Amino acid sequence: MNKNLVIKDLNIEHLADVLRLQDKIIAGFHEDEKHFVLKRSVEDFMYALDSENTHMIGVFDGDKLVAQSIFEFPQDNQKRDLEEFAKDVPNSDLVIYKATLVDKDYRGLGLMSKLLEYRENKAKEAGRKVAINQIAIDNPSSWINALKHGMSIRKVDNDPVDNAKVLYLQKEFYDEYNIAVQEDSRFSMYIGKDIHKEIPALFNKMRHFVASGYRGIKLDKTTNSIVWSKPVKQKHKEFHSIAATSLFAGVRDKTIRS
């Protein structure tokens, strides 16, 4: 990240900057990209900037806000976002990654990765153990960044609210939530040279793999493929073999729509 760019916690005094950045980013989207972001109201941002459990961070170039991100620490007695996912994890162990917006003039500088790292550190400081997120499948730059940061694809489905095709991703910070993975149960899925053209096929294949007990654990740059693996709980030592490794041709952050 450019040495002149600084990540800071945001508060209600940054409301005008936050609104200005959202408007600029949405105005710059192509028509078929506008669903990547659920435009937030002034009230939504005021809550995020002045809430005990919802937090915002931003990247500044001097006094100019050039990127921002929202994350939530739900409590056990609260209704939370993404209730359809990670039902086995108590709210008090979760951090939910939400909207991440980056000024188009500052893309390619690794800001998304830096914000992911900053959010994770904040979550660990707060005693959180598991991160979850929802990303539109046709927003590959966001879910590829999440895979690079150690999140894995756990669920592939339609959003229960608007029926958009989405990926649900998760990352465990500590061993108590980790599950050992048998190495010989891995395979790679080629995502194609033009990933946007492959999205419909990728969605169907991903959903099938997850339904079969696999999770997408990383992106292999050498083969331009997603590596999938079937996890096995250590305590049971139930190792399931796979006959052959397969290579398949072809493959919404809720609020970027991360």
Domain 5-178, CATH homologous superfamily name and number: Gcn5-related N-acetyltransferase (GNAT) (3.40.630.30)
Q: In this structure, what token pair is assigned to residue 143?
A: 């879910």
Give the Cβ contact number of residue 241 at 10 Å. 8
Give the Cβ contact number of residue 242 at 10 Å. 14
Local structure of 7: helix, strand or coil: strand
Distance of CA 213 to the CA centre of its chain: 20
237 or 202: which carries more pLDDT confidence? 202
List phi, psi (to 5°) of 117. Answer: -65, -40
Closest CA to 67 of 122, 123, 108: 108
Distance of CA 37 to the CA centre of its chain: 13
The pLDDT tens digits for 47-75 are 899 988 999 999 999 999 999 999 999 99
Question: For the purposes of burial, counting CB atoms within 10 Å of the CB of 100, is it exposed (0-12), middle (13-18) or buried (19 or more)?
Answer: buried
Q: In this structure, what token pair is assigned to residue 92?
A: 């008090």
Whether the per-residue pLDDT at 239 is higher than 50: the answer is: no
Residue 39 is given by DSSP the state P
34 or 222: which carries more pLDDT confidence? 222
Count how many Cα atoms sit within 13 Å of the Cα of residue 143 in the half-sphere of its side chain: 33
Residue pair 254/81 in contact (Cβ under 8 Å)? The answer is yes
The pLDDT tens digits for 137-160 are 988 989 999 999 999 999 999 999
Closest CA to 226 of 165, 137, 158: 137
Whether the per-residue pLDDT at 30 is higher than 60: the answer is: yes
Cα-based distances in Å from 256 to 15, 128, 134, 147: 19, 22, 9, 15
Task: List the chain domain ranges.
Answer: 5-178, 179-251
Per-residue pLDDT at 256: 45
Closest CA to 146 of 136, 133, 158, 137: 133
Whether the per-residue pLDDT at 218 is higher than 60: the answer is: yes
Per-residue pLDDT at 247: 38
Q: In this structure, what token pair is assigned to residue 20?
A: 């200005």
Whether the per-residue pLDDT at 232 is higher than 80: the answer is: no
Whether the per-residue pLDDT at 238 is higher than 90: the answer is: no
Per-residue pLDDT at 3: 62
